[in-house]
Structure 1
Amino acid sequence: MKQFQNFEEENIHYWTGRTDGYSNVNQEELASDQKTVWGRVLAEKIAAHFPKKAPEEIRVLDIGTGPGFFAILLAELGYQVTAVDYTASMLEAAAENAKETAEKIRFLQMNAEKLEFAENSFDVIVSRNLTWNLHHPEEAYREWVRVLKKNGLLLNFDANWYRYLWDEKAQKEHEKDRKNLSTSDVRDETEGTDVAAMEAIARQTPLSEKQRPEWDLTVLRVAGMEAKADPEIWKAVWTKEERINNASTPMFLVEGVKKDA
């Protein structure tokens, strides 16, 4: 087994290896109804918060863009989009997936926990399936709040992906998911992935054992955000495949607004 000097090196190595498979998933989403579903959810949330602003007036930061799904959607909808990821191969895949839309997106390699932007730079921050994977998620949230403008909007979609490693009840539910999946007519989303390697990383990430989104709300409020959660957002955005694969770990939305003072 390859020896790593630190968590960041291990994490980048893993996600570099996952790039092609993850990019294929994003390509499928972009070619399916998921593009419309997610585009509508994001646009409605942003429009509701900025009713007097046109998309081209709104600066959006996509943190942990991966192969670019959110960035591409939002750029096509007319928003000013900057997309960051810590893994170079993910950014390369994102630019390829964006095709001609890539010219409208600023892609930057950057650590989500140490953003290289000035304070009050963005109107909106979006992220999907990232925070669980961070080594210092509390620091990341503080950084995200820092670069948001006053009254800026945060939309973070995530789940308690690896809580089953720490919680006996969650473990039993996870095993039930795997059993139900084996008798279903949908694809196993873990096919082609190194589950053991991912679990090894998850054991080092503090959010794997936290109860979320309660943890997120507490941290964001301390950081100066008005925050709320929608634990049923999965009902609006997940496919049948996602619902069966991840029945015991439903996606939630953490939505925050940066206070004026």
Structure 2
Amino acid sequence: MYLITVVLLIFFNWGFEAKKWQILVRKIENISFIDAYQSVLVGLSLGFISPANLGDFAGRLMKLKSKNRSEGIGLVLLGNGIQFYVSILFGAIAYVVVLSTKDSKIDQIIFIGVILTLILGVMVFTFRGKITAFFTNFQMVKKYENHLKALSEFDLADFKDIFLWAVLRYLTFSLQFVLVLIVFQVPLPFLQLWAISCLVLLFKTIIPPINFVTDLGVREFSALHFFNLYSVNNTSVFTATFFLWLLNILFPVIIGGFLFLKSKL
């Protein structure tokens, strides 16, 4: 039953991401949810085989009209930034859960960094207009001004809407992580499993992947680090994280690759 739920949540996970992309891009162009979903999967597939996930931009912009693709780059960055902030937020909550039972100096230092990042995010949002105006005064940034033009049209209501879908997506894949850990018999209470899952996702977020191999490596290393605080069997943790990667990343990548090839035929 747990495995069936995990598999079904794959489609919700990327569906929420597609909805978020559809909302973001409506400032420059209206696209259907199906087109948004296909763009997300193609972007995932191209990002999988490109350095630093750069193919994600090309995939997401594929369904847009040529004249709008330049502004679409800024929208991809905004969507990723909001998802990054959500991961930082839940990572901070998870740190409170873990640090309340464990005394780890390194993790305490990281927790302080996470809190400072959250504060910085609020400041950037509050003063986004002034910050954008300041940086566009520099010649090096000014040539990319068109990429950021659509961002000025977002108000607080838009950000709340996008933030909501980002949270729903985060809760979906963190729940997937917990369910897979339960399937592979990692013997911890639900709250601890969820907290450690959030910390693993936090490390995956703050350490940018060079390629799919390093992405998987960060996931595995951080999972082993945090679960070792609870003396959990490493084999179960490794198997669970790798299995989730196969389901949640590799499977959608294959579908996205098929969609990309189909669009080129």
Structure with the greater alpha carbon radius of gyration:
2
Which structure has the highest helix share of the two? Answer: 2
Which structure has the highest strand share of the two? Answer: 1
- Flag whether TM exceeds 0.5 (same fold): no
Q: Which has the higher contact order (CA 8 A, sep 6+)?
A: 2
TM-score normalized with structure 1 length: 0.30
